[in-house]
Amino acid sequence: MCWSARADLVVGGAVTAVGVLCLVRVHRAGRPERLPLAALPLVLGAHQLIEAAVWLGADGALPAAPAAWARTAWAVIALPLLPVLVPVGVRRAAVDAGRSRQRLLTALVLLGLLVAVPLARAVATRPVGATAHAHTLDYRIGIPYPVLLLAGYLLATVGALLVSGDRRLRRLGLLTGTGALLCALLWRLAFVSTWCALAALASVLLLRWTSLPRAAPP
């Protein structure tokens, strides 16, 4: 998320364009196994564009029904989708990894699915609220066992990148792990939301990853 509707529109549009370029590069390189992970910037860009509508709803500039749809769409991407998409994308791209690493990535895919089930249930059965607070949006979803699910979420997503065996994806894992901690701290202080900057940096790293023909050896 960004600190305003305008920032979400600008950064979201740029990240979406990077996502399209990632998919084009993977298609031209003939590497279909990289498509799921290459689609991540497109998903992150769409996520930010959706949040622009959430901002408008929180400010009263959007009718109640479209604002509720935007909040739900935002939650679907942030909660059940990403902990599945990231480890699946890494596992799919790890065609050159050894068997032990592939088994570990498969376990992280299963973990992501286990985390996604209660998150999807929460989004499907509870209204998603969002309130503007300074330069941040405060989302209210009512997730059960939040600490446990957050730990599983981070292990499935950041963990998959760190154990991928590709040094470029490991850099992405380090960036997202440390960046998430910093962004969360700034968000909790209600200073400013900087998640969109993290999404933009991650998308640029994935763009570089898709531009190379083969993964680097660990």
Band the pLDDT of 192: cuts 50, 70, 90. Answer: very low
CA distance 21 to 131: 34
Band the pLDDT of 15: cuts 50, 70, 90. Answer: very high
pLDDT average, residue stretch 20-40: 95
pLDDT average, residue stretch 116-142: 90
In contact, 135 and 187? CB cutoff 8 Å: no
The helix/strand/coil state of 190 is coil
Provide the terminal-to-terminal Cα distance of the chain, rounded to the nearest Å: 32
**DSSP-assigned states of every residue in 79-148:** IIIHHHHHHHHHHHH-TTS-HHHHHHHHHHHHHHHHHHHHHHHHHHHS--EEEEETTEEEEE---SSHHH
pLDDT average, residue stretch 4-26: 94
Residue 106: how many other CB atoms lie within 10 Å = 14
Q: Where are the domains of the chain?
A: 5-211
pLDDT average, residue stretch 10-31: 94
pLDDT average, residue stretch 174-194: 68
Band the pLDDT of 158: cuts 50, 70, 90. Answer: very high
Band the pLDDT of 105: cuts 50, 70, 90. Answer: very high
Q: What percent of the chain has pLDDT over 70?
A: 90
Band the pLDDT of 214: cuts 50, 70, 90. Answer: low
Record the pTM: 0.90
CA distance 160 to 29: 24
Q: And the tokens for 181? A: 């901690």
Predicted confidence at residue 4, as pLDDT, reads 84
In contact, 171 and 201? CB cutoff 8 Å: no
Band the pLDDT of 194: cuts 50, 70, 90. Answer: low
Kindly report the average pLDDT of the chain as a whole number. Answer: 89
